Amino acid sequence: MPMTEKRQTVLAEPRGFCAGVRRAIGIVERALELHGAPVYVRKEIVHNHYIVSELEKRGARFVDSEAEVPEGAVCVFSAHGVSPAVRAASDDRRLEVIDATCPLVAKVHQEALRYAREGRTVLLVGHAGHEEIEGVRGEAPDRTVVIETVEDAERCALPDDTPVACLTQTTLSFDETARIVEALHRRFTDIVSPGSDDICYASQNRQNAVKELAAGCDLVLVVGSRNSSNSLRMVEVAREHGCAAHLVPDVGHLDERWLRGVRSVGVSSGASAPEILVRELVQRLAELGHDDVQVRRGAHEDVVFSMPGRLTDPVTGRVPRTPLADEAS
């Protein structure tokens, strides 16, 4: 009898939670521990349905606006950041605010404010309507133009000699962003950009890992929610590198038809996707015959963002373990 050909599942590393996501989830967990339920969270703390559901079970209440939070209540700002107008409205309602904005997003906020004060128009590369873009744009709404595509860059209704500064959403595809930034530099004669890239280290590392999967696998599956920008970009990157790819919010969304004729499946996950969802997907793939599990290691990540001081233990000065945030550790 002929030998059955092995079918592989190749796991990418790094994958899953980044430092900013782990910090944001931990902030909500710690706030619930200190203040008790309910703790209100403006928007989704991170863009993942599983995380939101688990935190809701523990007493978090997710709202679309600070106006929905009872006056004086505890309110956590999501990892994607908020505009100064949101902060002012929260102050008016005397909310006890705990800020979970990712430090890398906060850096973009500061850059936008600085360039606007210098008299430059901020060209903000990203997706209009995304929470991160709305927050950064709010730093200087009259001096900010959102650029989504190369065509937007070429058609931007500003004189070519306008002093401008280019900033980007942190979760974009590096390759696509580079094309837009290059178009802006061709277009404007007085343009500056930050000394370091705005695209976060975790998004870039996960995109690079997906490129490696795409080069050696027949199919790439990315675990992540449909509203997760960085997860969607990972799927796009795999497809751009010639590999079939799909977003899998959880194992229930796996379409077995995708596996027809596939020997090797690459699996990764977005920066806000917990490892439990990856484990469930890998288990199901094994049940379907892809039981030879390999790991493809890429960049090593050891970044840790500190928690707000007010959440530390008053005796030890440390932050107690936050189980959901540490789930992928």
Which pLDDT tens digits describe the chain residue by residue (329 residues)? 344 578 999 999 999 999 999 999 999 999 999 999 999 999 999 999 999 999 999 999 999 999 999 999 999 999 999 999 999 999 999 999 999 999 999 999 999 999 999 999 999 999 999 999 999 999 999 999 999 999 999 999 999 999 999 999 999 888 889 999 999 999 999 999 876 667 899 999 999 999 999 999 999 999 999 999 999 999 999 999 999 999 999 999 999 999 999 999 999 999 999 999 999 999 999 999 999 999 999 999 999 999 998 887 776 767 777 889 887 54
Q: CB count, 10 Å around CB of 233?
A: 25
Backbone angles phi, psi at 182, to 5 degrees: -60, -40
Check: CB of residue 47 under 8 Å from CB of residue 249. no
Backbone angles phi, psi at 243, to 5 degrees: -120, 140
DSSP state, residue 162: -
The model's pTM is 0.94
CA distance 29 to 323: 8
Check: CB of residue 217 under 8 Å from CB of residue 265. yes
CA distance 39 to 239: 40
Q: How far is CA 320 from CA 27, 30, 207, 326, in A?
A: 11, 8, 32, 11
State the number of CA atoms in the 13 A half-sphere of 254 facing the CB.
24
Give catalytic residues, as residue numbers: 132
The answer for residues whose C-beta is within 8 angstroms of residue 118's C-beta and 6 or more apart is 163, 165
The residue among 99, 94, 68 whose CA lies nearest residue 83 is 99
Class of residue 85 by CB neighbours under 10 A (exposed 0-12, middle 13-18, buried 19+) = middle
